[in-house]
Structure 1
Amino acid sequence: MKYALLLMGNVADAECGADEGPDPSEFMAFDEEINAAGIVVGGFSLEGPDTGVRVSTQFAETVVTSGPFAEGGDFVGGSYIIEVAGIDEAIAWAEKSPASTLGHIEIRPLADY
């Protein structure tokens, strides 16, 4: 089954992206480990939430709003799309990620359309 591991942060967290968080080498080591396991089928890394825009069209009027957008300041910093046997294996990989010590990781099954 395919799952998205959404690496979540919060703009109000003083450690988010700061020196107090996990060392970048920890993220690189995790990236190497999960890729070497052969379960990664996709993913992405995003720029900070203040760099995005939201577009909505209502009543034929387009509104563009600058980020961040999520209530409470939560944002997606990146993701891994993995293919594993089930949710327990997806959770085990999320627990290994340094992102789980800094923010949190939301795990969502991919819809099979």
Structure 2
Amino acid sequence: MRFMVMVKATKDSEAGVMPTQEDFAAMGAFNEELIQAGVMEAGEGLHPSARGVRVVFSGKDRYVLDGPFAATNELVAGFWIWKCASLQDAIAWVKKCPNPMRTDSEIEIRQIFSAEDFGEALTPELRAQEERQRQEIQSRAG
């Protein structure tokens, strides 16, 4: 199973407060442990929402909302993509994580859909297309 593990934003992260050298070292050690265990597939931090936008879809119309966005506790400050045997395994890894913020913080774990989750709606042709796209992405990242 694959999971997106999201570090929720805080007032500090939204204000652009950067991690300390000690914070980077602790998170680097944790990431190294994830990599050595074959869990971590990707992980990045995100700039504050003040530097982001949202594209809103309404029928055929699209419009752009500039950040910053309200409800800081609903924003994402960073993420990982992990491969774990179960949600319980992902929870166990998060419990080992150093606090990603200098204040109280939250990490949200969400399972990523796999092709099997979509049943008959994802036809063999669409599955083949998706697989070709994944291979193209991997070859470009290469």
Q: Same fold (TM over 0.5)?
A: yes
Are the counterparts in 2 of residues 12 and 73 from structure 1 also a CA contact under 8 Å?
Answer: no
Q: Which residue of 2 aligns with 1:40?
A: 40
1:62 and 1:93 map into 2 onto residues whose CA distance is 39
Are the counterparts in 1 of residues 31 and 40 from structure 2 also a CA contact under 8 Å?
Answer: no
SS at match of 1:43: strand
TM-score (norm 1): 0.77
Which ranges of structure 1 fall in alignment gaps of 5 or more residues? none
TM-score (norm 2): 0.63
1:40 and 1:19 map into 2 onto residues whose CA distance is 21
Q: Which residue of 2 aligns with 1:52?
A: 52
2:55 and 2:114 map into 1 onto residues whose CA distance is 27
CA gap 1:109/1:57 in 2 versus in 1, 3 angstroms: closer
How many residues in Structure 1 have an aligned counterpart in Structure 2?
A: 111
CA gap 1:62/1:2 in 2 versus in 1, 3 angstroms: closer
Q: Which residue of 1 aligns with 2:105?
A: 103
What does the per-residue CA deviation read over 1:42-73, in whole Å, with 9 as the maximum and x for residues that have no partner? Answer: 3332112211001124365542211233x521
Hey, which of these two has a bigger chunk of helix by percent?
2
Q: Which residue identity does 1:105 align to in structure 2?
A: I
1:22-101 to 2 correspondences below 5 Å:
23-58=23-58, 61-69=61-69, 71-74=70-73, 75-98=75-98, 99=100
CA gap 1:61/1:110 in 2 versus in 1, 3 angstroms: closer
CA RMSD of aligned residues (A): 2.9
1:3 and 1:59 map into 2 onto residues whose CA distance is 30
Hey, which of these two has a bigger chunk of strand by percent?
1
Q: Which runs of 4+ in 1 moved over 6 A?
A: none
What does the per-residue CA deviation read over 1:1-26, in whole Å, with 9 as the maximum and x for residues that have no partner? Answer: 11111111223789x84679x72211
Q: Which structure has the higher relative contact order (CA within 8 Å, separation 6+)?
A: 1
